[in-house]
Amino acid sequence: MELSLLVCLNLLASLIFSGGQTLECHQGQWQCDDGGCIPNGWKCDGQGDCLDGSDEIDCTGPPGSIDCPLGQFPCVDSVGCVDVSARCDGQKQCPTGSDEENCPATEGCLDSDWTCRNRICIPKELHCNGQNDCMDNSDEEDCDLCGENGVRCPEGTCVSAAERCDGQVHCSDGSDEPITCGHMCSMNNGGCSHVCTDEPWGARCTCPAGYKLSPNGAVCEDLDECAAPLSPCVHHCSNTIGSYYCHCREGFKLNGSSTCLASGNNTQLLMVQRRALGLLNVKSRQVEAIQTAWFDPVALAFDISRGWYYWADTQGSIYKRGGRQTWTVYTGEPGIKGLACDWLNGYLFWTNQKTESIYMQAADGKSFTTLLSKNIRPSELVLLPVESLMFWINAGPGDRVTLEKSWMDGSERSTLVVITAQSAHSLTADVAARRLYWISDFKRSIETVKVDGTGRTSLTGLFGTQPAIGLAVFEGWMYLADVKGLWQVPQNQPRQKKFILKAELPLIAAYHELQQPQGSSACVKTPCHLCQLTKGNPLGFTCACPVSKVLLPSGTCEIPWCFINK
């Protein structure tokens, strides 16, 4: 490294530390000499990720390996080197296969899931529940069939009528040996707290609505309806003894017992029909034209409070419309797949499948930065700025596909759901419900999960012979687009769908001010050129700079003089 460049980088590092711009790195991260933080796995991987290159200094091969040129991985317990890009690619290049050892998961489900034969992942509680959740029925194979008087154990096995009340516990919760074995209803109601029915083996106890039978088989205890994967309430659910009640987020009003209706303007759908962008008023069915694109749009986004509309085309350009003006805010590689707005701060985020990166652009459209570009192959993208969260569908190593989650600065990335083999697309969110939704072509279903990873549910029976091509969700309504047109489907009664528009709509998005609720932002009074929301930092944000610039203690972004003079 040239002396002038080394001096420059050391100076930058000291400035960053002295200015207090960097806090301690989080668990699982390594701190660069310049104060930056990178994941532990990026240290000594042959690619310089720290500004000062300190993550690739003093790197030695594993014990017993030979020295390899920069950018190559040394085989362990054998002679040879392979390109870093070939490490963990699913194919063994080293004689002992060491280039495929200690790699991130490339297949399989989360620990909380059960793996189907077709490699689809379902929640473990759906295994042996009597329904074909895997679509190949593998989750119901080797499950004992329960006869009329059999007992289904929590682990999915079935205890026969002959084994019930035989004095031996077969179920993990002991439900096959209730305390009412040998009892009669004529004596003390058989020991039941509520309804009692005589059976050959003893007294069978049953419960009224809102209650469930405890494992001891005698006492009825409260059923927590709110704990169901898909709550009966669209927004908030509060359990009560024997029942529950729903309440709504600010700006919504409870309609009936479970539905939350939005106040303010009528619900609209931002949509693309052929190359024309427009707004469909769901109630009146009237369409307001916005813009006709030169090339086919591949992604849509909007910032409703600022009156901005965005779309990306097949050529790699992103356009913005505000008022009566339309202009190009970005031109780059084709491959853009997802667009999303940070409506609290006016920033634009997008994914590119060709460059395998997530990008962020300033509100003025004059600068952008690369947010994530390593170990990532993103497609659809969703932001939830009120929670500082970012979600995207990611194609991992092999054929693994996941729904990923991180803060909006890209930190603390984790897998929310494994969706391998689902043919998933059209990722969207009902912001008020804090739920994500997507279409599974293989399962012919709409899949949903809460933003914290709980409440995963499959909504089936929605599609006929025509595949779905677009999805939007708001107020407990799902809007499905297929080759015939647009359908409106109530989430709590998915089979009661209604046809509302004859048009082919490949892109749709729920357009309402409550889909982008306003709130305080940690970025409001920061000096950052690009401010990224995060709850991984006590300040609530991370400062970032456009490509080729570095962050100074003052919060400004400058091109280092050593790079200018180099």
pLDDT digits (tens, 9 = 90+) for 165-211: 999 999 989 999 999 999 999 999 999 999 999 999 999 999 999 99
Strand 287-292 versus strand 550-551 pairing type: unpaired
How far is 458 from 481, CA to CA, in rounded Å? 18
User: Global pTM?
Assistant: 0.84
> pLDDT grade, residue 64 (50/70/90)?
very low
Q: Give how far Cα 210 sits from Cα of 195, 206, 243, 274, Å.
A: 14, 12, 5, 50
Model pLDDT for residues 252-301, shown as the tens digit of each residue: 999 888 889 999 999 999 999 988 999 999 999 999 999 988 889 999 99
Spatial CA neighbour of 223 closest among 204, 207, 246, 247: 207
Other Cβ atoms less than 10 A from the Cβ of 509: the count is 22
Tell me what pLDDT residue 35 has: 67
Residue 454 has pLDDT above 70, yes or no: yes
Distant-in-sequence, close-in-space partners of 228: CB < 8 Å, separation ≥ 6: none
Phi and psi of 439, rounded to 5°? -95, 135
Tell me what pLDDT residue 100 has: 66
Three-state DSSP state, 16: helix
Contact by Cβ (8 Å): 335, 324: no
Residue 3 has pLDDT above 60, yes or no: no
Average pLDDT over residues 446-470: 89
> pLDDT grade, residue 564 (50/70/90)?
low
Residue 248 has pLDDT above 80, yes or no: yes
How far is 301 from 319, CA to CA, in rounded Å? 10
Average pLDDT over residues 529-554: 87
Comparing 141-145, 404-408, 438-442, 471-475, which segment has the lowest mean pLDDT? 141-145
Phi and psi of 40, rounded to 5°? -55, -35
Tell me what pLDDT residue 41 has: 67
Phi and psi of 386, rounded to 5°? -65, -15
Q: What domains are there in the chain, each with its CATH number?
A: 1-54 (4.10.400), 266-515 (2.120.10.30)
Q: How is the chain split among helix, strand and coil, in percent rounded to 5?
A: 10, 35, 55
How far is 54 from 32, CA to CA, in rounded Å? 6
Comparing 89-103, 116-130, 356-370, which segment has the lowest mean pLDDT? 89-103
Chain centroid, CA 203 distance in Å? 47
Tell me what pLDDT residue 94 has: 83
Q: Where is pLDDT greater, at 493 or 523? A: 523
Tell me what pLDDT residue 7 has: 46
Residue 48 has pLDDT above 50, yes or no: yes
How many residues are given for the chain? 566
> pLDDT grade, residue 21 (50/70/90)?
very low
Chain centroid, CA 520 distance in Å? 23
Site of tokens 């707004």: 279
Chain centroid, CA 495 distance in Å? 26
Residue 13 has pLDDT above 70, yes or no: no
Residue 493 has pLDDT above 90, yes or no: no
Site of tokens 């994500």: 436
Contact by Cβ (8 Å): 130, 140: yes
* Residue/partner pairs of 14-19 with CB below 8 Å, 24 or more apart: 15/552, 15/553, 16/551, 16/553, 18/553, 19/552, 19/553, 19/554
Tell me what pLDDT residue 177 has: 94
